[in-house]
């Protein structure tokens, strides 16, 4: 049984996590539901558990902290979790390079899983993309199109950025400088090694990512669609079980799944 501290409890992913936890009482329990001070759910209950606004109030109540909130909130929580010596699953995207550097340093003291996407399908897609990139080599241009709901704050998605990184690293290229975010202009032909990343925002789309490999003779698309946030929540809870058994270290979802 893993007792969970859930951050961003009233948010879309928080709600999905709570639902999956309540459906699996043998495996998981709620230890803390955390929200922003300004959130109207603070002081109310979700699924019979009070929503609090101060992580310091109950770090003893959970074994693993699962955070799908905002970059600023996540980085603040991590300081308390490092102090309390608690394992963490980071779902929040939009973290910058300094944040990632701090997380790498903290992972020398506490175990952390961090992934821009906790669905099994996307993690398998990254594995397939490494294979496809190696086989297709430089004969194929590669671009990425991602679509999400209209409320999503960061663009392009963390998953699209990780996807571009996976491909560029497989090609032996530095991710920085090889990603192009949208294209416009009269003289704007693509470079061979660039990856264009395009973000669609529409209605309630949970998450779609398509990688296009195009040669002069054919096109291959590798595509993933998330139908519901449950698939992401189930993956994040698998990561919580995994990280509960670790002492220190920074892990990704491919390691959790043993891919
Ligand atoms: N890694 C993944 O698989 C994955 C999947 C979906 C979403 N995400 C990311 O997770 C994050 C949340 O996504 P969402 O769709 O649930 O967003 P959301 O806006 O619906 O929910 C975020 C919640 O965090 C709360 N919050 C803000 N500050 C807080 C604080 N200090 N303490 C606790 N809670 C706080 C907000 O009040 C809100 O309820 C985003 O960064 C999103 O991109 C990651």
State yes or no: is 178 an active-site residue. Answer: no
Give residue 134's pLDDT.
Answer: 97
CB of residue 106 inside a 6 A radius of ligand 1: no
Ligand 1 site, residue 5, Cβ cutoff 6 A: no
- Give the tens place of pLDDT for each residue, 68-89: 999 999 999 999 999 999 999 9
Q: Which atom of ligand 1 is least distant from the CA of 119?
A: 3
- Ligand 1 site, residue 232, Cβ cutoff 6 A: yes
Backbone φ and ψ for 212, nearest 5 degrees, come out as: -110, 125
- What pLDDT is stored for residue 138 in this prediction? 87
| Distance, CA of 181 to CA of 161 (rounded, Å) | 10
CA distance 250 to 62: 20
Please report the DSSP string for 139-200 in residue order: GSEEEEEEEE-TT--SSS-HHHHHHHHHHHHHTT--STTTEEES--SSS-PPPTT-EEEEEE
Q: Do domains 2-118+229-257 and 120-226 have the same CATH topology?
A: no
pLDDT at 137: 86
152 is catalytic: yes
Q: Which residue owns the Cα nearest ligand 1 atom 9?
A: 92
Give the list of residues 6+ apart from residue 114 with CB closer than 8 angstroms, or none.
89, 90, 103, 250, 251, 252
Cβ-in-10-Å burial (0-12, 13-18, 19+) of 199 comes to: middle
pLDDT for the residue numbered 99? 98
**Mutate which of 74, 75, 77, 91 to test ligand 1's pocket (most atoms within 8 Å of Cβ)?**
91
Tell me the C-alpha distance between 210 and 232, whole Å.
Answer: 18
Class assignment of domain 120-226? alpha beta
From CA 134, how far away is CA 43, in angstroms rounded? 53
| CATH 3.30.210.10 matches 2-118+229-257 | no
pLDDT per 10-residue tile (average), the chain, 259 residues: 98 97 97 98 94 94 98 98 98 96 98 97 97 94 98 96 97 94 95 96 97 98 97 97 97 96
User: Residue 187's pLDDT is what?
Assistant: 94
Domain extents for the chain?
Answer: 2-118+229-257, 120-226
pTM of this structure: 0.94
Kindly name the residue from 108, 134, 149, 152 that is annotated as catalytic: 152
Pick the catalytic residue from 77, 148, 209, 224: 148
3-state secondary structure 57-102: HCHHHCCEEEECCCHHHHHHHHHHHHHHCCCEEECCCCCCHHHHHH
Burial class (CB in 10 A: 0-12, 13-18, 19+), 29: middle
CB of 36 shorter than 6 A to ligand 1 = yes
């Amino acid at each position: 049984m893993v007792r969970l501290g859930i951050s961003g409890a009233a948010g879309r992913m928080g709600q999905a996590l709570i639902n999956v936890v309540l459906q699996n009482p043998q495996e998981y329990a709620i230890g803390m539901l955390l929200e922003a001070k300004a959130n109207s759910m603070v002081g109310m209950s979700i699924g019979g558990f009070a929503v609090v606004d101060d992580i310091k109030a109950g770090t003893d109540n959970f074994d693993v902290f699962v955070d799908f909130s905002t970059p600023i909130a996540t980085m603040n929580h991590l300081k308390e979790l490092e102090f309390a010596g608690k394992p963490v699953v980071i779902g929040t995207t939009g973290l910058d390079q300094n944040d990632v550097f701090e997380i790498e340093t903290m992972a020398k003291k506490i175990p952390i899983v961090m992934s821009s996407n906790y669905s099994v399908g996307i993690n398998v897609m990254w594995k397939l993309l490494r294979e496809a990139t190696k086989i297709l080599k430089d004969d194929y241009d590669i671009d990425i199109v991602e679509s999400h709901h209209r409320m999503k704050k960061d663009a392009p998605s963390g998953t699209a950025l990780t996807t571009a990184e996976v491909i560029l690293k497989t090609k032996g290229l530095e991710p920085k400088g090889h990603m192009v975010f949208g294209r416009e202009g009269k003289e704007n032909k693509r470079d061979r090694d660039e990856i264009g990343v395009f973000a669609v925002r529409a209605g309630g789309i949970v998450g779609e990512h398509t990688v296009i490999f195009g040669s002069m003779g054919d096109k291959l698309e590798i595509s993933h669609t998330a139908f519901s946030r449950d698939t992401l929540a189930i993956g994040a809870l698998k990561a919580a079980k995994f990280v509960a058994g670790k002492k220190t270290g920074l892990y990704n979802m491919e390691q959790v799944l043993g891919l």
